[in-house]
Amino acid sequence: MGKTFSEKILAKYSGKKEVVPGEIIEVTPDVAMSHDNTAAISKTFASIGVDTLYNPDIHVITLDHCVPPANATFAQNHKDIREFVKKHGIKHFYDINNGICHQVLAENGHCLPGTVMTGSDSHTTTYGAFGAFGTGVTRSETAVIMATGKIWFRVPETMKIVISGELPKGSYVKDIALHIMGKIRSDGALYRAVEYTGPTAEKFSISERMTICNLAVEMGAKVGYVPPNEIVYKYLEDRAQKEYTPIHSDPDATYDEVIEIDVNNLEPHIACPHTVDNVSTIGDVAGEPIEEVFVGTCNNARLDDLAILAHVLKGNKVNHDTRLIVIPASSRVMIDAMRLGYIDTILTAGGTLASPGCGPCMGNHLGVPATAERVLSTSNRNFKGRMGNREAEIYLASPHTAAVTALTGKISDPREVPVDWDAIASELSKATLSPVLVKA
């Protein structure tokens, strides 16, 4: 009988002939990512009582959650992490000048098909964009991986989402993800692996794969996964940290559930306060005033996202009752965006730019909303208090919806200001540092 991607990779890594859903196995990951929480993790590691890391080379550490540090406590965290990195000879360390962990790991070729990757961050499901088994673990678990190299997993059941059709203008992969979310809700994929397949998913760009896998965890998934193909292999040329062997599900694998999504007539979607699965089509909430538009985060702040934003803003001004905060996902994205003129356009239109990192996504700094304010964000989470103020409301939508909303000051249908996708694609093909439109 055929096996799914998750069953195959967990069997391989646990040294078993085969594993079945529900089984508990132990593996050694290829990569164990941690970020600003490494300060806390390092203290937990110290409490275990071993002196050296099991393998310093599997640890990838990034500083991104509050960069540059907003206060002395964050600064001390960073200092502690730098000392820990030096002491243990961790070579894969990305300081505050790089960007958001998930983007930085992708750009630096750590995300590889057929590998097991953990992260002390829930959005580690993003790595499935590259055909990796990427899943979020806890701080203590990363500390234990430091000590023993081992982590336990329950072999997940797998849900397959077959995506077909051509997205209409104004709708994006974010809208597909929000549509699925509204359909199956925040626990619709609980404990399970989610495979995004079908003719539309096969053609997803690197950026689109990352956006949809990033949101898998918001449905409760253990991993998101788009079967890797030439688009991924091409992206990894001259980038992969090591050799890799892709793993694909068998054609006759057993799925727990199969959902089919036709995107031919998909409307732009929006997640309303205060849960990600509180999803509407844009028409239902259009007109709602918005005081802050935030284009940023590991979900939607890559070069293609900034390109769409800039194309909408070009020659226009951000509404005087609205603030637009833009935080590129990484320094590479920011440099490419500067070279292509997007940053110029965004600032000229009245946007505010901050340095690459997570920004206000979880309320640390750089755009915490005031009481009773409404935010439209391109991020992945809109829980009460998420951006640092429980009396604020957060809506989630695509960068195109965010851009048009910034112009009007109220939730707006992105189709009101269409963008010339051919022109954008031609510009993006010139990007050298953070390519998103890799052609197979």
Site for other proteins, rule CB under 8 A? 24, 36-37, 39-40, 43-44, 47-50, 65-66, 71, 73-74, 77, 120-122, 136-141, 143-144, 147-148, 152, 186-187, 190-191, 220, 222, 275, 362-364, 381, 383-386, 388, 390
At its nearest, how many Å lie between other proteins and the CB of residue 14? 13
CA angle 178, 181, 184 (to 5 degrees): 155
CB nearer to other proteins: pick between 66 and 180:
66
CB nearer to other proteins: pick between 138 and 280:
138
CB nearer to other proteins: pick between 392 and 436:
392
Distance CA(225)–CA(270), nearest Å, equals: 23
At its nearest, how many Å lie between other proteins and the CB of residue 177? 16
At its nearest, how many Å lie between other proteins and the CB of residue 388? 5
Q: And the tokens for 132?
A: 């990796």
CB nearer to other proteins: pick between 40 and 340:
40
At its nearest, how many Å lie between other proteins and the CB of residue 392? 12
At its nearest, how many Å lie between other proteins and the CB of residue 383? 4
Give the torsion sign (CA, 6, 12, 18, 23): negative
At its nearest, how many Å lie between other proteins and the CB of residue 296? 15
Output the CA–CA distances (angstroms, integers) from residue 323 to 119, 377, 427, in the order listed. Answer: 33, 12, 27
CB nearer to other proteins: pick between 2 and 383:
383
CB nearer to other proteins: pick between 189 and 253:
189
CB nearer to other proteins: pick between 78 and 400:
78
Q: How many CA atoms lie within 13 A of 403 on its CB side?
A: 29
At its nearest, how many Å lie between other proteins and the CB of residue 172? 24
CB nearer to other proteins: pick between 141 and 373:
141
Do the bridges between strand 279-281 and strand 292-295 make them parallel or antiparallel, or are there none, so unpaired? Answer: unpaired
> What is the C-alpha R_g of the chain?
21
At its nearest, how many Å lie between other proteins and the CB of residue 180? 16
At its nearest, how many Å lie between other proteins and the CB of residue 435? 29
CB nearer to other proteins: pick between 141 and 427:
141
At its nearest, how many Å lie between other proteins and the CB of residue 30? 19
CB nearer to other proteins: pick between 153 and 204:
153
Give the torsion sign (CA, 287, 288, 293, 295): negative
CB nearer to other proteins: pick between 40 and 201:
40
Which residue, chain included where needed, has tokens 């769409």? 308
At its nearest, how many Å lie between other proteins and the CB of residue 394? 11
Distance CA(214)–CA(260), nearest Å, equals: 20
Across 171-200, b (16+ Cβ under 10 Å) vs e yields bbbbbbbbbbbbebbeebbeebbbbbbbeb
